Amino acid sequence: MKTGVYFCKCGTNIADKIDAVKIRESLLRQDPGIHFSTVDFMCSEEGKEAVAKDLAENRVERVVISACSPRDHETTFMRVLSKAGLNPYLMQMVNVREQIAWVTEDSGRATDKADRYIRAAVRRVQLHDALQKKEIDICPDVLVIGAGPAGLKAALSIAGSGRKVVLVEKSPVIGGLPVRFEELFPTMECGPCMLEPLLGDVLHGEYAENIELLTMAEVTGVVGSYGNFAAKISQRPRFVDMQVCIGCAECIEPCPVSAKNTFNSGMNDRKAISFPFAGALPNAPFVDEKLCIALQGGECRKCREACPVEGAIIFDDSAKVFERNIGAIIVAVGSDLYDCTKLPQLGYGKLDNIHTSMEFERIMASNGPTDGEIRTTAGNAPASVAIIHCVGSLDPKHKEYCSGVCCQYAFKFNHLIEKKLPGTRVCHFYKELVIPGKDEFGLYHQARSNPQATFVRYDDIQNLSVAGGAEGTIIQYQDNSGKSGSVKADMVILCPAVVPAEDSGRLGTVLEAGQDRAGFFEELHGRLDSAQSKIRGVFLAGTCQSPMDIQKAMNQGMAASGYILSGLVAGRKLEIQPVNAEVDARRCSGCRVCVAVCPYTAISFDPEKKVAVVNDVLCQGCGTCVAACPSAAIKGNHYTNAEILAEIEEVLK
């Protein structure tokens, strides 16, 4: 097997330390058939061309490149091999520059070390297999889970490229949290108005026909892998046909039953047939099966009698299961707020007029329970409001992280209170203030310059307590300088930590995508790939990955789409790297150790053949299973036992 050794001088970088002539002599002593050639700058265009030409002319079959770090130029030289008609895996690179020439003081010892490395590479490369990249057909369509800002943005950009999107939303309404907010920081834009065009595009826009929206639905099963997933989606019955319903709301008034409206945090009532809130899209009500008299077997048909169109209300609607084939999945299920009853001293759930920020958003919303009027339970405008920041945040006893959005919406609240109820006193209790960004300071400065606003910084939320009494609600505090005091507040707003959505763990299990310590969906890499999960083909967008504002959620929706649009192209096959694990079924004892150690759930057990099977698409080639297999039945391609052992043996000679 003719082996060519190409020695890059890298100008003087390598040549000054390592004696190429000595290396050549030593190699030829080992094997006179070795073809040795030096190149000045191998990575230059001339260098690459010279090597390609030399490979062809000398009919070289195996190649050793002695140059810089393979982390720099392994792929460069693999391409040179391909160009010369050689299989690119029949090459071994020796890192003579970074790991010998630049770090070894004595030139003799550097040359000796390079000689051993190159000899080991020559031995190793003889054992290399001509690995082939595999290609598989893919489905370019995408499943988006969650129709909040992140999911909507992703769905639209993918649909706009002509692909099909299945958009699955758990609730009867799309738009996520911000459609419930009257105004948005940092610029006090109206939430529903800002999202309206996006929602309109999803429902009726140019590419709407590419989007299959399934509301009141959840993903219950996923099989397959990147390029070829099959998802099972279960949809609860709405009892209203969205195609027929004209959204006139005639059905609501006659309905004789009501219950707490969860979309308004239970602060008002809704009927058994209702819209989550005025203006909710899709513009069709839904029926709460548990409340509806007809659905509970009673005689009532009042809503149907009031409905001006035939067939809009369907009492015999039933749960449906959909199966869809897709190539990639975007998780955009958003988040929840920390349960404030876990800080009992704040009185939430026990005292009147203590609200979470989410509840207060609904109080301020014109389509909310009080039509946008800020009122206490007694029906009066509050003369004083306390806003407690950092509830459960930056706190080792609760959540150790900062949610990053609370300060900003707290100053948004300050602004709205000032606007709606001029002269109202607002007291901010905070642990830290966080207001990064080029626009975000505006509301903060406004709050700071409001003569009615005061700020109290505390060290530990344990030093705050809220008590009710004849005089109203009193907040006792000790500030960060140790000074104690008390403030009367007619209304208290708590800004709780943003936490993972309640069933994201269950969805994580369905998708096999892991959660981080805090329970958010775990990204592949915090800086490089935060819109990608560790499962290939499962992408993350919005607050399901980490607390963030709408801008970032939208950006992440676009980022997730970007990965898919560039990685999964209709008509183009998906390339599978051959540096992966391969099970020899004859040697496999079926012990399943490999299944347990694989970090990518790429190995499964075939119960019929009783052997382990590696999924090439999921395998990332780490080789953990190879080292774990007690029967040596798994081959780690390009890092085989034989290759590594030969390298060890030769380098020690």
Partner 1 sequence: MTADKTVRGDTAFEPKIIGFLCNWCSYAGADKAGTAQSPYPPNVNVIRVMCSGRIDPQFVMKAFEQGADGVIILACHPGDCHYKEGNYRAAQRYRLLLQLLEPFGIERERCRFDFVSAGEGDKFVQVITEMVETVRALGPLIIPA
Residues of the shown chain interacting with partner 1 in the complex, contacts defined by CB under 8 A:
69-71, 95, 97-100, 102-106, 109-110, 112-113, 116-117, 120, 534, 579, 597, 599-600, 620-624, 626-628, 636, 639, 641, 644-645, 647-649, 651-652
Determine, following the binding rule CB under 6 A, whether residue 440 of this chain makes contact with ligand FAD: no
The one of ligand FAD, partner 1, none whose footprint includes residue 150, by CB under 5 to 8 A per kind, is: ligand FAD
Q: Applying CB under 6 A, which of residues 146, 282, 382, 500 lies at the interface with ligand FAD?
A: 146
- Partners of 94 in the β-ladder: 66
The one of ligand FAD, partner 1, none whose footprint includes residue 177, by CB under 5 to 8 A per kind, is: ligand FAD
**Binding residues among 178-197 for ligand FAD as defined by CB under 6 A:** 178, 181, 184-185
Candidates 128-136, 207-215, 250-258, 544-552 — which segment interacts with ligand FAD by CB under 6 A? 544-552
Distance CA 164, CA 212 (A): 8
The one of ligand FAD, partner 1, none whose footprint includes residue 636, by CB under 5 to 8 A per kind, is: partner 1
Determine, following the binding rule CB under 6 A, whether residue 332 of this chain makes contact with ligand FAD: yes
| Apex 615 CA angle, 89 and 518, nearest 5 | 110
Determine, following the binding rule CB under 6 A, whether residue 218 of this chain makes contact with ligand FAD: yes
Q: Applying CB under 6 A, which of residues 177, 487, 594, 622 lies at the interface with ligand FAD?
A: 177
Which tokens in the block code for residue 189? Answer: 């834009």
Smallest gap from Cβ 362 to ligand FAD, in A, equals 9
Element (H, E) at 441: helix 441-449
C-beta of 553 vs 622, nearer to partner 1: 622
Residue with tokens 């892991």: 514
Determine, following the binding rule CB under 6 A, whether residue 623 of this chain makes contact with ligand FAD: no
Candidates 108-116, 405-413, 427-435, 592-600 — which segment interacts with ligand FAD by CB under 6 A? 405-413
Strand, helix or coil for residue 4: strand
Determine, following the binding rule CB under 6 A, whether residue 31 of this chain makes contact with ligand FAD: no
Determine, following the binding rule CB under 6 A, whether residue 357 of this chain makes contact with ligand FAD: yes
Which tokens in the block code for residue 249? Answer: 């709301």
CB neighbours of residue 74 within 10 Å:
18
Whether 554 and 535 have beta carbons less than 8 Å apart is answered as no
C-beta of 311 vs 505, nearer to ligand FAD: 505
Determine, following the binding rule CB under 6 A, whether residue 121 of this chain makes contact with ligand FAD: no
| Apex 336 CA angle, 335 and 338, nearest 5 | 135
DSSP state of 581: E
Distance CA 546, CA 530 (A): 9
Render the burial of 248-265: b for 16+ CB within 10 Å, e for the rest: ebebbebbebeeebebbb
Q: Applying CB under 6 A, which of residues 3, 13, 95, 171 lies at the interface with ligand FAD?
A: 171
Smallest gap from Cβ 419 to partner 1, in A, equals 46
130 dihedral zone (left: phi>0; alpha: psi -120 to 50; beta): beta
Site string for ligand FAD, 497-536 (x = CB under 6 A): ----x-x---x-----------------------------
The one of partner 1, ligand FAD, none whose footprint includes residue 503, by CB under 5 to 8 A per kind, is: ligand FAD
The one of ligand FAD, partner 1, none whose footprint includes residue 176, by CB under 5 to 8 A per kind, is: ligand FAD
Distance CA 22, CA 9 (A): 14
Determine, following the binding rule CB under 6 A, whether residue 212 of this chain makes contact with ligand FAD: no
The residue count of the chain comes to 653
Phi, psi angle pair for 52, to nearest 5° = -60, -45
The one of ligand FAD, partner 1, none whose footprint includes residue 117, by CB under 5 to 8 A per kind, is: partner 1
**Burial class for 110, CB neighbours closer than 10 Å (0-12, 13-18, 19+):** buried
Amino acid of residue 524:
L
Whether 649 and 123 have beta carbons less than 8 Å apart is answered as yes
Q: Catalogue the E-assigned strands of 80-225.
A: 91-95, 134-136, 142-145, 165-168, 183-184, 189-190, 211-214, 217-225
C-beta of 470 vs 652, nearer to partner 1: 652
The one of partner 1, ligand FAD, none whose footprint includes residue 69, by CB under 5 to 8 A per kind, is: partner 1
Determine, following the binding rule CB under 6 A, whether residue 207 of this chain makes contact with ligand FAD: no
Determine, following the binding rule CB under 6 A, whether residue 324 of this chain makes contact with ligand FAD: no
Distance CA 339, CA 496 (A): 8
C-beta of 510 vs 591, nearer to ligand FAD: 510
Distance CA 171, CA 331 (A): 15
Smallest gap from Cβ 606 to ligand FAD, in A, equals 31
C-beta of 404 vs 623, nearer to partner 1: 623
Smallest gap from Cβ 518 to partner 1, in A, equals 14
Distance CA 367, CA 337 (A): 22
Determine, following the binding rule CB under 6 A, whether residue 548 of this chain makes contact with ligand FAD: yes
Q: What share of the chain is helix, strand, coil (3-state, %, to 5)?
A: 30, 25, 45
Determine, following the binding rule CB under 6 A, whether residue 412 of this chain makes contact with ligand FAD: yes
Determine, following the binding rule CB under 6 A, whether residue 202 of this chain makes contact with ligand FAD: no
Distance CA 523, CA 372 (A): 38
Which tokens in the block code for residue 346? Answer: 């704040």
Whether 387 and 414 have beta carbons less than 8 Å apart is answered as yes
Which tokens in the block code for residue 25? Answer: 């002599």
Smallest gap from Cβ 147 to ligand FAD, in A, equals 5
Q: Applying CB under 6 A, which of residues 112, 115, 201, 361 lies at the interface with ligand FAD?
A: 361
The one of partner 1, ligand FAD, none whose footprint includes residue 115, by CB under 5 to 8 A per kind, is: none
Distance CA 250, CA 304 (A): 9
Whether 191 and 373 have beta carbons less than 8 Å apart is answered as no
Residues of the shown chain interacting with ligand FAD in the complex, contacts defined by CB under 6 A: 145-151, 168-171, 176-178, 181, 184-185, 218, 332-335, 337, 357-358, 361, 405, 409, 412, 501, 503, 507, 542-543, 548-551, 553
